[in-house]
């Protein structure tokens, strides 16, 4: 049987493997300059600058084609060292193409959480990833957001700490389209409360007869639906019983407001 130290080291290893972007061995660009070019199927594709003036830029695309673009129709591309950045706010060139590229690079490594300033972006992986285990909860307990990889546990822990320190109610707002994970996210957040409450509750709470389940009851989500639209996009993803996509009516965008209230 593994000792507590061995289990802790194993958890750290799993954390690094599952939640940290792997180091890149890609060479730097040197003197090269790249831009993102609008591309209908892919959204954006990269193009190397061959010639540039105040109004136009000549680019060599990944397909080998050379195209001229107006300088206001393309956006700068970040060097490869920014690939997999944990916070999109740290990108040297912050634009739609760069944010989507960073999210895609992380998603390709099953890194579904990425910060964007004060916000946490979550992309549904449509598969199970073992990043919600008790060992992972312990890694995030009491840690600052910039000390650990992006995770809903980090946001939940910060909210819980703010409640304890400031003695004020806290809340999290979760938004997204159907199938984005709005139901799963509150459930994962609330599952962390019993261990955190038992480990970090103040003495006044420890003497209280209220149970951990009482704390969790304060995390009931309130869902505010937006206008209903008809779509087939995620019909099969939201129900394992669906054998094929079906035309259903989904709320195009919903928000879940989670309130964490003081017990004492």
| Residue 122, pLDDT above cutoff 50 | yes
Looking at residues 135-139, what average pLDDT do you find? Answer: 90
Looking at residues 196-215, what average pLDDT do you find? Answer: 50
Question: How high does pLDDT run on average in the chain?
Answer: 77
pLDDT score of 45:
92
| Residue 69, pLDDT above cutoff 60 | yes
Going across the sheet that includes 222-225, the strands are 170-176, 254-260, 222-225
For the domain spanning 29-77, the CATH number is: 2.30.30.360
Model confidence band, residue 130 (pLDDT cutoffs 50, 70, 90): very high
C-alpha span between 236 and 128 (Å, rounded): 16
For residues 56 and 185, the model is more confident at 56
Looking at residues 157-173, what average pLDDT do you find? Answer: 83
For the domain spanning 4-25+79-228+249-260, the CATH number is: 3.40.850.10
Looking at residues 115-139, what average pLDDT do you find? Answer: 92
pLDDT score of 248:
37
Tell me whether strands 113-116 and 228-231 are parallel, antiparallel or unpaired.
Answer: unpaired
For residues 113 and 208, the model is more confident at 113
| Residue 97, pLDDT above cutoff 70 | yes
Q: How many CA atoms lie less than 13 Å away from 3 in the CB half-sphere?
A: 3
Highest mean pLDDT among 27-41, 148-162, 239-253: 148-162
pLDDT score of 173:
84
Of 5-19, 113-127, 141-155, minimum mean pLDDT range: 5-19
Model confidence band, residue 102 (pLDDT cutoffs 50, 70, 90): very high
Query: For the chain, percent helix, then strand, then coil, each to nearest 5?
Result: 35, 25, 45
For CA atoms 172, 178, 180, 182, the dihedral sign is positive
C-alpha span between 81 and 73 (Å, rounded): 24
CA 36 to chain centre: 23
Domain boundaries, the chain: 4-25+79-228+249-260, 29-77
Please write the tens of the pLDDT for every residue from 212-235.
444 444 444 444 444 444 444 444
C-alpha span between 113 and 122 (Å, rounded): 5
Looking at residues 241-262, what average pLDDT do you find? Answer: 47
Looking at residues 163-190, what average pLDDT do you find? Answer: 83
| Residue 20, pLDDT above cutoff 80 | yes
* pTM of the full structure: 0.77
């Amino acid at each position: 049987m593994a000792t507590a130290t061995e289990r802790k080291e194993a958890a750290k290893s799993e954390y690094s493997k599952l939640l940290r972007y792997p180091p890149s061995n890609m060479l730097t660009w040197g003197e090269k300059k790249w831009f993102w070019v609008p591309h209908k199927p892919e959204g954006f594709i990269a193009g190397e600058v061959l010639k540039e003036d105040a109004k136009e830029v000549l680019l060599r695309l990944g397909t080998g084609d050379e195209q001229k673009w107006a300088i206001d129709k393309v956006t700068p591309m970040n060097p490869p060292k920014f690939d997999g950045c944990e916070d999109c706010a740290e990108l040297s060139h912050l634009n739609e193409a760069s944010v989507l590229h960073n999210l895609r690079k992380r998603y390709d490594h099953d890194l579904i959480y990425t910060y964007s300033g004060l916000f946490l972006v979550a992309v549904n992986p449509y598969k199970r990833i073992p990043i919600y285990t008790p060992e992972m909860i312990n890694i995030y307990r009491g840690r600052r957001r910039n000390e650990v990889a992006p995770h809903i546990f980090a946001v939940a822990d910060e909210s819980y700490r703010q409640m304890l320190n400031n003695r004020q109610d806290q809340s999290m707002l979760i938004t997204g389209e159907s199938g984005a994970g709005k139901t799963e996210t509150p459930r994962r957040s609330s599952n962390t409360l019993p261990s955190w409450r038992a480990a970090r509750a103040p003495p006044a709470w420890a003497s209280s007869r209220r149970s951990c389940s009482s704390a969790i009851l304060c995390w009931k989500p309130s869902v505010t639906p937006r206008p209903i639209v008809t779509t087939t996009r995620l019909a099969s993803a939201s129900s394992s019983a669906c054998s094929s996509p079906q035309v259903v009516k989904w709320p195009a965008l919903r928000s879940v407001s989670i309130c964490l209230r003081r017990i004492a």
